[in-house]
Chain A
Amino acid sequence: MNVSSVKGSMSISSSTSTWKAGDTISDQFPAGLRVLVVDDDPTCLMILEKMLIACLYKVTKCNRAETALSKLRENKNGYDIVLSDVHMPDMDGFKLLEHIGLEMDLPVIMMSADDGKQVVMKGVTHGACDYLIKPVRIEALKNIWQHVVRKRKNEWKEFEQSGSVEEGDRQPKQSDDADYSSSANEGNWKGSKKRKDEEEETDERDDTSTLKKPRVVWSVELHQQFVAAVNQLGIDKAVPKKILELMNVPGLTRENVASHLQKYRLYLRRLSGVSQHQSNLSTIISAQDPTFGSLSSLSGLDLQTLAATGQLPAQSLARLQAAGLGRATAISGIPITLVDQRNIFSFENPKLRFGEGQQQHMTNKQQVNLLHGIPSTMEPKQLVSLRHAAQSIGNMNMQVPPHGAQSSQNNPLLMQMGQQQQQQQQQQQSRGQILVDSTINHAPRLSSSMGQPILSNGIATNVSSRNGIPENIRAPGYSQTPSMLNFPMNHASELPGNSFALGSTPGVSILTSKGAFQEDVNSEIKGSGGLMPSYDVFNDLNQHKPQSWELQNVGMAFDTSQHSNSLQGNLDLTQSALGQQGFSSGQMNGHNRSAAVASKAMFSTGDVKELGSAQNVNQHLNNLLVDNTIRVKSERVCDTSPANIFPDHFGQDDLMSALLKQQESVASSENEFDFDGYSMNNIPV
């Protein structure tokens, strides 16, 4: 398609048609940008309105947050950006920010006469994409369109990454002239993505306009179909065309499949602990695609084995794979060495999230978004890394998590692991750790005897409970083992709220809530009580490193993938580090990650704060955390499971810090929203 097609939605009207590849944005843009401004002070409101009109924006003003919300709800695609005051009588500005982030995923700019650091930080952690100090000058308003473009771009990126565009993963979205040579689903993307974004922004807004390729959300089911097709054809012989035929899904294009296959392959490779992929991963990571690395033999085997044993629910497997893929890309490159992984994780975080975030969609984007910043994709990686680590460590069957809920079997193992881990886990990692530990621990044990399935069992138990438990799992983990097994179970009951992603909606929750989740997650995570300490974990990671590599990885995997992008990064790092160090760090990372993931909000709650991206969807976090923990254990079929399995979160300390940094820097807003971009709704499939 020609990017330049006139969208018409924009008030600019004529201008849009002028967009051409390589052309600068239409002269009209950002004129016509639809702004909703909320402020209880009538004077300010009036002035702002006037200024915005002077910038040629289309302004809607309200003096109450409730009014604003209802306006947004009744016309979801009617606005491009929201400007909100912080101090409002009926609703706190930050609360409104959360709602908007969760429900509509629009960029929100906060305003206030208050310029205290705390308040501004709150804005950041809650996901605001900018914070203006009153008196607001018109110059400041002239630039707000950048946030809209940025968001679109990221969404697009995710979209593409998810597979609609083959090159999506790698291609830097930024390249103005990037022609999406392959896969341009929509057609010829003449202009750079930027152009597209802009165009989209102006023309089509959030609606899947013709320009914007409909995002393909690789749900668990879809991924399962994909995997089935691939297996049928044989991983070597699987070509997109044939896969597409076998899958027979209307609306799915060859390009979608192609890019997904790419990720899947990476994922597989990652699972098998291919270190050479590291480089690939790096690239991938940067691309932020939680590509599903081709399921490396290992991972594939693991998953499949698990699946075969019935332990791994197909979904989980799919998820794992998806996660793996998502992360695989990132992870594949990462050599088992934690160190390397660390690096990867940082990138992968988004990816990991993906894996973890599987809950929502396998789409990488989502995952990434969840974590906000730190690639949550770590999960797949983590899993992979974990696996590797496990292997390196000694049969640690990293696979650990994914296999679903089989849990019960491993319990004893888990317990053992738990105990071992306890020491280490004390930190928040507990969940992740436990899972990791258990899984990992099991792995060695199991590996000899049972091999993977066992791990899964152990994990499964943990995982299974995930749905509700995820959080629980974490916390108890450290309590000294026996709880480990129990955790998941116990937690399940507790957590139900948290694990939003855990079992249920594949990522949907994560995505949507992005904004909200974070907050919630944080809270939830916190709620999980013990679990969240993981945030501290980050801090502790360094210390715990030696402890249980497994745990960490696991933890990492869980957390990162699902929850927060940012977290993931950390987790991944930790994981990778773990591998080398011996989990301890990994665990920490994992946990941290999950923590991060779980809630960016978690940050606020605790150590996690560092992770920052407050945006963390609370829910996500929770889920992530939960998922992470569970994931590790069992594939948890739930959405995120795949992610967990790959505790990408290696490289704890480094990762964590990196993640943390990332998170902090990552204006959650971006990440978070990105995640949303990938809403399931868009899935044409």
Chain B
Amino acid sequence: MDRNRLHNQVASMRRSLFDQLEELQDDTNPNFVQEVVTLFYNDSARLIQNIEQALNSGPIDFCKLDDYMHQFKGSSSSIGAKKVTNECTAFREYCNAENAEGCIRSFQQVKQEYAILKRKLEVYLQTVRQASQTA
């Protein structure tokens, strides 16, 4: 009962969060979504940190910033995080315009959305863990 509930919860979370990823998960790889999410989680944390550093250290290297953001945008769009992706796009525009102020502001937005996403991911992973434990 409990297990079922948890499982359902996981499934619905998955669906709501990652519609495409959901499709990819199947019997051959039941943990696919989980793996991807974990991967993204770790990888994006690193990227965010890099961006943060680049923004805070001395003269801003827009080129590098753009690179990091491009990567981050790629991953987040791949897992279906639309809001984060949108913020990334905005950030990149500022970056192209070499607008430091705009970049910093935009980055705050990115971080915000990312924080929301992270929380959701964490909850999801937690639920998955719980479900697997009860299974």
Report which A residues bind B (CB closer than 8 A): 40-44, 46-48, 50-51, 54, 85, 87, 112-114, 134-138
CA distance A48 to B20 in the complex (A): 12
Task: Tell whether B67 is near chain A: CB-to-CB under 8 Å.
Answer: yes
Using known A-B contacts A43-B79, A136-B78, determine if residue A87 contacts B24 with beta carbons closer than 8 Å: no
Residue of B nearest to A39 (CB): B74
User: What B residues does A44 contact at CB under 8 A?
Assistant: 74-75, 78
User: What A residues does B26 contact at CB under 8 A?
Assistant: 54
User: What B residues does A135 contact at CB under 8 A?
Assistant: 20, 74, 77-80, 85
Contact present for B80 and A46 (CB under 8 Å): no
Which of A40, A85, A134, A137 is the most central at the interface, judged by chain B CB atoms within 10 Å of its CB?
A134
Other 11 A-B pairs with CB < 8 A, given A44-B74, A137-B20: A41-B78, A42-B39, A46-B35, A46-B36, A47-B78, A50-B24, A51-B24, A54-B23, A113-B70, A134-B77, A136-B78
Which of the residues B21, B67, B70, B73 comes within 8 Å of A47, measured between beta carbons? B21
Cβ proximity bits B71-109 to A, threshold 8 Å, 1 near / 0 not: 101110111100001000000000000000000000000
Contact present for A43 and B40 (CB under 8 Å): yes
Least Cβ distance of A111 to chain B in Å?
Answer: 9
Residue of B nearest to A50 (CB): B24
Report which B residues bind A (CB closer than 8 A): 20-21, 23-24, 26, 29, 32, 35-36, 39-40, 43-44, 67, 70-71, 73-75, 77-80, 85
Least Cβ distance of B34 to chain A in Å?
Answer: 11
Contact present for A113 and B74 (CB under 8 Å): yes
Which of the residues A46, A112, A114, A136 comes within 8 Å of B39, measured between beta carbons? A46
User: What B residues does A85 contact at CB under 8 A?
Assistant: 74
Least Cβ distance of B10 to chain A in Å?
Answer: 18
Contact present for A113 and B24 (CB under 8 Å): no
Q: Would you list the 7 A-B pairs with minimal beta carbon distance, nearest first?
A: A135-B77, A113-B74, A43-B75, A43-B40, A44-B78, A50-B24, A135-B78
Number of inter-chain CB pairs below 8 Å? 63
What are 22 A-B pairs with beta-carbon distances under 8 A? A41-B71, A41-B75, A41-B78, A42-B43, A43-B44, A43-B78, A46-B35, A46-B36, A46-B39, A50-B24, A50-B36, A51-B24, A54-B24, A85-B74, A113-B70, A113-B73, A134-B73, A134-B74, A134-B77, A134-B78, A135-B74, A135-B80
Contact present for B74 and A112 (CB under 8 Å): yes
Which of A51, A113, A134, A137 is the most central at the interface, judged by chain B CB atoms within 10 Å of its CB?
A113
Residue of B nearest to A87 (CB): B70
CA distance A50 to B78 in the complex (A): 12
User: What B residues does A114 contact at CB under 8 A?
Assistant: 70
User: What A residues does B40 contact at CB under 8 A?
Assistant: 43
Least Cβ distance of A61 to chain B in Å?
Answer: 13
CA distance A43 to B78 in the complex (A): 8
User: What A residues does B35 contact at CB under 8 A?
Assistant: 46
Least Cβ distance of A344 to chain B in Å?
Answer: 46
Residue of B nearest to A47 (CB): B78
Contact present for A47 and B79 (CB under 8 Å): yes
CA distance A50 to B40 in the complex (A): 15
Contact present for A138 and B24 (CB under 8 Å): yes
Residue of B nearest to A133 (CB): B77
Residue of A nearest to B37 (CB): A43
Contact present for A138 and B79 (CB under 8 Å): no
User: What B residues does A113 contact at CB under 8 A?
Assistant: 70, 73-74, 77
User: What B residues does A40 contact at CB under 8 A?
Assistant: 71
User: What A residues does B85 contact at CB under 8 A?
Assistant: 135
CA distance A51 to B32 in the complex (A): 11
Least Cβ distance of A207 to chain B in Å?
Answer: 31
Least Cβ distance of B49 to chain A in Å?
Answer: 16
CA distance A87 to B64 in the complex (A): 12
Least Cβ distance of A626 to chain B in Å?
Answer: 37
Least Cβ distance of A142 to chain B in Å?
Answer: 12
CA distance A138 to B26 in the complex (A): 15
Contact present for B36 and A47 (CB under 8 Å): yes
User: What A residues does B79 contact at CB under 8 A?
Assistant: 43, 47, 135
Least Cβ distance of A42 to chain B in Å?
Answer: 5
User: What B residues does A137 contact at CB under 8 A?
Assistant: 20
CA distance A233 to B29 in the complex (A): 69
CA distance A351 to B37 in the complex (A): 53
Residue of A nearest to B25 (CB): A50
Contact present for A87 and B21 (CB under 8 Å): no
User: What B residues does A138 contact at CB under 8 A?
Assistant: 20, 23-24
User: What A residues does B23 contact at CB under 8 A?
Assistant: 54, 138
CA distance A196 to B39 in the complex (A): 42
CA distance A48 to B36 in the complex (A): 11
CA distance A137 to B70 in the complex (A): 18
CA distance A44 to B24 in the complex (A): 13
Which of A41, A47, A50, A51 is the most central at the interface, judged by chain B CB atoms within 10 Å of its CB?
A47
Least Cβ distance of A268 to chain B in Å?
Answer: 57
Least Cβ distance of A39 to chain B in Å?
Answer: 8
Using known A-B contacts A41-B43, A42-B39, A87-B67, determine if residue A47 contacts B74 with beta carbons closer than 8 Å: no
